Amino acid sequence: MTDQWVSFSRHGVAELVHLKGEIDLANANDIGRAIVARTTGASAVLIDLTAVSFLDSAGVRLLDFIVGDLDDRGKPIKLVVGERGAARMTLQLCSFRTDLLATDLDRAAAELDR
Amino acid sequence: MSETGGPDVTNELRLPWDDDPEDLYEHAPCGYLTTLPDGTIVRVNETFLAWTGYTRAALIGHRRFRDLLTAGDKIYHETHYAPLLSMQSEVHEIALEVVGADGQRLPVLVNSVLERGAGGTPRIIRTMVFNAAERRSYERELLAARRVAEASEQRVRVLQRIVADLAAAPTEAEVAEAVVRAPEPAFEAASTSIYLVDVERDQLIAVASTDPTTGNWEDMPCSSDRAVAEVARRGDLHVIGTVAEAEEHFPDLAESMRRSGRNTVVLLPLTTGSGDEQALTVLGVLAFSFREERSLSDGELRVIRLLGQQAGQALDRARLYDDARRREERAGFLARMTRSLEEEHRLLQRARRLVERVMEFADWAEVRLQVGPAGLLEHAGTQPPDPDLLAERVAVATRDAQPIYAADDDGLACTVLPLTARGRVLGTLALRMTPDRRFAAGERLFLADLADRAGLALENARLYEQERAIARTLQRSLLAADVPGGDPRFVMETYYQAAAQDLEVGGDWFDAFLITPSKLAVVVGDVVGRGIDAATTMGQLRSAIRALASAEHGPARLLEQLDRFCERVDSARMATVVYGEIDLLTSELSYACAGHLPPLLHEPAGSPQYLLQARSAPIGSRAGDRRRTQHKVRLAAGSRLLLYTDGLVERRGRPIDRGFEILAREYARRRDAPLKGLTAGLADTMVGRDHGDDVCLLCLTLGAEERLERSIGADPLQISLLRADLRGWLVGHAVDTDCVNAVLLACSEAVANAIEHGYRDDPFGVVDVSATVSADAVEVRVTDRGSWRGPGADFTRGRGLQLIEESMDEVFFDRGEGTTVTMRRNRGERRQP
């Protein structure tokens, strides 16, 4: 149901979540459930937002929840947002911690290990 | 005494015939009685005494004549004899019985004469008595013979009726009913039962009985040692005259005779075949019994044997008739099934139909087909058989391509038929027949025939499905080709909806392409026919139009070229096409309609108009007007042009005019709806999901409206549709990407707020969005009429409001009847970072 917005793969030890398209009030909850189902047991998570063309506050809420959950469990997480784009803009406007954001996947993966 | 007067020699010489009168009286060959009028005997002759054994003294003066009669005759004497004599003074040949001294009865005939004295008073009665013993016994014999004849006639009548009934009985069951009713009226039997041989099951089936409580009335194997089975094997008539006789030969019969109080039993095989013993076939046994010990005459036995033969022949005929009828039923079923399968074109539906049909004589059925990655499985009925045993049998039947028929003791009771077509096993049909037909060998041919037909029907559906999938893929690939987008000068929305019955793909298509950087061509067309041919032709026509379109020629010339094109591609003949070219610099539309429905244009002001100019006949038409013309219209910025195929407006039972009216109305109603989703929504409203024809739409919005105005329902899903319009509009006004993203975010958040808070309790609420753009700034206004609870800036939505504030330069909230949020973001250098 949420396959058009979210897909999963592995990157090293990390669970890699690919998001794409528009994430808003209408689909954020479903996407959130799909992600949580995959990341609850993960030892590290990378969320790739470079293909996201729109992200609203509901999407921010969803990311905030996932980050909080992993922080609580002491597991590292990184959000890959690229140099520009809708996702980076929204997350910056919401003042997401800069240490969470990375501009490309490899760098994010490398930072996870540190 | 001599009459001649000669010497009287009577005393001396008596002639032998010259009887002494006294002696004549006494020894006459008949009895004489003389009685008083009251019947008292006063004189009697020796003959009478000798016949009856009385002494003269015992009679004379002591007895009356009637005292000598039997009780019945005494009454007769009183009621008939005496009155008659008194009236007529004489009676003749009265048949009476005299009881002798030893009680022996003597049948007699009596003549009496009443002599009267002077004045007519009765004086004396003279009675002459003839011995009628022999005559009576002769009469009795006659009577007995007549009774026998009558009984035999009665029997014959009963048998005739039975034979007539047998002739009219079309089924085994009715023959059995007729036969079982014979022995009671024909032979005064007490009760009757009939057993029929079931050859396939090697059983004697108890079919009918006039008294099922007697005897041991139940089915038995043909090999049973019971009397009925024994007689069926021997094939000849058995009369068991006494219980003792039964005891000796058939102990089971003796036991049931004792239990039901029977003393004689007849077991009659019902046979057919020539008189030749060898060729005799026993089809059943008729058993009838008598309470008394009954001996049957040769005549009766003959009749009984005849009954057996007649019944046997009737059974034989009924069996043939039953067979013929069953064959007819099966043939009828197969014909019905084939017809019924043909009504469904799709594989799944056809398989489902097959299972439904088979359930007419099965209590469980399943079709498995080896198609696609997952295969296809359809089943019906209750109590499915053991899945492992079934899977095993299915595997064997598939491997060997041979049917496996259910057997009595296989624990599955299921027949598995491979469904083959063109030498390939397509799948299997497993079925469990209803118990009455389960093991009949006669069903095998029928089932094989059924499997043949079903296999072919399903294979055809599979091929059809394959062709349909190919056609669909072909059509999709052609339709999905690159329709220009991302151009700020126009926005396009297309929609294709296949027919719900989904028989075959249609030949509808849409296309849009840029002929030159500033000239856009739009096409909607419809090829005659369906299926792969139509899809292929559609592809050819579409390519032809792309190739023929040129900046110089215009629509009319293009249609003329298409007319020539179909001289070579005949399948394109009679296709309808609407073709338009839009000059993106001057906003002029030039269009031509070849037999196609008119485009519908909605300009920002006013109501939608059908473009009814530049009409001519379909492509390649021989009878129609092929003078191709074109017409020009100037389109105001923000105009929406709709091209569509007939599936959108045509509906059975509705005039096409009405269809046009409804389309114009629905189109106008959506004036403020986002373009995205408009065509799908129109199709849904106009034809619904359950429609019989393909529908193809292309909607084009030309130029950016000065002012964007949209109304959306209070549904989060609509926010993304609005965003699509707003994004296109902003891009159309050359707004830079950062600004576009910021405005989209703020607008989305404001609408989400209105839906989540303003219309929390109103799913039918409407959110109005209007946007203007100037050289300095973008301004967006979001209005709802909902009832906000609380301050609105609650914790969860706090982030949304924060995003609005952060992404826009000025934000105003106006809370009155509902809420209006007005947001403004500066453009270019005016933007304060």
Taking only Cα atoms into account, the Rg of chain A, rounded to an integer number of angstroms, comes to: 13
- Which pLDDT belongs to residue B814? 85
Average pLDDT over residues B6-17: 61
Report yes or no: B530 and B504 within 8 Å, Cβ to Cβ.
Answer: yes
Q: Is residue B11 part of a domain?
A: no
The number of distinct structural domains making up chain B is 5
B1 confidence band (pLDDT: 50, 70, 90): very low
B62: phi then psi, degrees, rounded to nearest 5: -110, -30
Over residues B574-597, the pLDDT tens digits come to 999 999 999 988 889 999 999 999
pLDDT at B793: 44
Tokens encoding B619: 């492509």
Distance (Å) of CA B18 to CA A108, B9, B188: 171, 12, 62
Disruptive mutation site among B726, B747, B799 for chain A (greatest number of A CBs within 10 Å): B799
Which of these three, B294, B324, B354, is where a domain ends? B324
Higher model confidence: residue B4 or residue B613? B613
What local confidence, expressed as pLDDT, does residue B585 receive? 86
Secondary structure element (H or E) that encloses residue B578, with its range: strand B576-583
pLDDT tens-digit map of B254-276: 888 888 889 999 999 998 876 55
- Tokens at residue B342, please? 């043909």
In the predicted structure, residue B791 carries a pLDDT above the cut 60: no
Q: Considering chain B, what percentage of its residues have pLDDT values greater than 70?
A: 93
Q: Which residue has the tokens 């753009």?
A: B773
**pLDDT > 70? residue B423:** yes
**Beta strands of B332-475 (E only): which ranges?**
362-369, 376-381, 415-421, 424-433
| Cross-chain residue pair A93–B745, CB shorter than 8 Å | yes
Rounded Cα distance, B767 and B681, in Å: 18
Q: Where do runs of H (alpha helix) occur along B89-195?
A: 133-168, 172-180, 183-187
- Average pLDDT for residues B594-609, to the nearest whole number? 90
* DSSP-derived secondary structure for B331-365: HHHHHHHHHHHHH--SHHHHHHHHHHHHTTTEEEE
| CATH classification of the domain holding B261 | 3.30.450.40
- Give yes or no: residues B697 and B713 share one domain: no
User: Is B432 among the domain residues?
Assistant: yes
**Average confidence (pLDDT) over B63-67:** 92
Phi and psi torsions of B149, nearest 5°: -60, -40
- Tell me the nearest-neighbour CA distance from A79 into chain B, angstroms: 19
Radius of gyration for chain B, computed over Cα atoms and rounded to the nearest angstrom? 57
pLDDT range class, residue B175, cuts 50, 70, 90: confident
Burial B146-180 (b: 16+ CB within 10 A, else e): eeeeebeeebeebbeebbebbeebeebebbbebbb
Beta carbons of B507 and B528 less than 8 angstroms apart: yes
**Interface residue A56 vs chain B (CB under 8 A):** yes
Model confidence at B555: pLDDT above 90? yes
A22 reaches B (C-beta below 8 A): yes
Q: Is B166 in the same domain as B127?
A: no
The reported pLDDT for the residue numbered B144 is 86
CA angle B254, B256, B257 (to 5 degrees): 60
Q: What are the tens digits of pLDDT across the range B361-387?
A: 888 999 999 887 778 889 998 888 888
CA B832 to chain centre: 80
Q: What tokens were used for B37? A: 């009028």
- Out of B112-116, B188-192, B758-762, give the one with best mean pLDDT: B112-116
Helix (H, G, I), strand (E, B) or coil at B330: helix
pLDDT of residue B500: 62
Does B732 reside within a domain? yes
- Average pLDDT of chain B, as a whole number: 86
CB contact under 8 A, A56 and B752: yes
Query: Domain residue spans in chain A?
Result: 6-113
Mean of pLDDT over chain A? 88
Which of B154-168, B323-337, B636-650 comes out lowest in average pLDDT? B154-168
Closest CA to B641 of B617, B669, B675, B613: B675
Distance in angstroms (rounded) separating the CA atoms of residues B470 and A40: 43
Q: Which residue of A has its CA nearest to B756?
A: A25
My answer on whether B193 and B299 are in the same domain is yes
Residue B712 and residue B751 in contact, taking contact as beta carbons nearer than 8 Å: yes
What residues have CB less than 8 Å from B624, skipping those under 6 apart? B595, B616, B617, B618
Note whether residue B91 is domain-resident. Answer: yes
Residues B530 and B660 in one domain: yes
Chain B residue with CA closest to A64: the answer is B799
* Residues B726 and B696 both lie in one domain: no
What per-residue confidence (pLDDT) applies to B57? 92
Same domain, yes or no: B440 and B503: no
The domain of B678 spans: 481-703
Asked if the C-beta of A13 comes within 8 angstroms of chain B's C-beta atoms, the answer is no
pLDDT digits (tens, 9 = 90+) for B131-150: 888 888 888 888 888 888 88
- Band of pLDDT at residue B795, cut at 50, 70 and 90: very low
User: What is the C-alpha to C-alpha distance for residues B662 and B256, in angstroms, rounded to an integer?
Assistant: 86
B719-773 residue pLDDT tens: 988 898 888 888 878 888 889 999 999 999 999 988 888 887 787 888 999 999 8
pLDDT tops 90 at residue B429: yes
Asked if residue B618 and residue B584 are part of one domain, the reply reads yes
DSSP state of B240: E
Q: β-strands A77-80, A45-55: how paired?
A: parallel
Q: Which CATH superfamily is domain A6-113 in?
A: STAS domain (3.30.750.24)
Q: Which has more confidence, B443 or B575? A: B575
- Tell me, yes or no, if A30 comes closer than 8 A to chain B by beta carbon: no
CB-count exposure of residue B795 (10 Å: 0-12, 13-18, 19+): exposed
The answer on pLDDT for B66 being more than 80 is yes
Q: Assess contact for B455 and B421: CB atoms under 8 A.
A: yes
Q: Look at residue B99 in the predicted model and tell me its pLDDT.
A: 93
CATH number at residue B119: 3.30.450.20
Helices (H), B202-297: 227-234, 243-249, 251-260
Interval B280-303: pLDDT, tens: 888 999 999 999 988 888 888 888
Q: How confident is the model at residue B490, as a pLDDT?
A: 86
What is the Cα–Cα distance from B445 to B443, expressed in whole angstroms? 6
Q: Do B738 and A24 touch (CB under 8 A)?
A: no
Chain A neighbors of B799, CB-CB under 8 A: 57, 60-61, 94
CA distance B72 to B803: 134
Task: Tell me which chain A residues have a C-beta less than 8 angstroms from the C-beta of B794.
Answer: none
Instruction: Please check the confidence at residue B208 and state whether its pLDDT lies above 90.
Output: no
Residue B725, both tokens: 């319009």
> Is there a single domain that holds both residue B115 and residue B192?
no
Out of B719, B741, B807, the one facing A26 most closely (by C-beta) is B719
- Identify the CATH number of the domain in which residue B498 sits: 3.60.40.10
Contact assessment for residue B68 and residue B98, using Cβ atoms and an 8 Å cutoff: yes
Q: Please check the confidence at residue A45 and state whether its pLDDT lies above 90.
A: yes
Stretch among B511-515, B563-567, B636-640 having the lowest mean pLDDT: B636-640
- Whether B777 shows a pLDDT value over 80: the answer reads yes
Give yes or no: residues B463 and B488 share one domain: no
Is residue B4 situated within a structural domain? no
In the 8-state DSSP scheme, what is residue B597? P
CATH number reported for the structural domain that contains residue B801 in this entry: 3.30.565.10
Confidence of residue B438 (pLDDT cuts 50, 70, 90): low
Do B494 and B397 lie in one domain? The reply is no
Q: Both B459 and B581 in a single domain?
A: no
Q: Tell me the count of A-B CB pairs closer than 8 A.
A: 62
Same-domain pairing of B288 and B416:
no
Strand pairing category for B415-421 and B766-773? unpaired
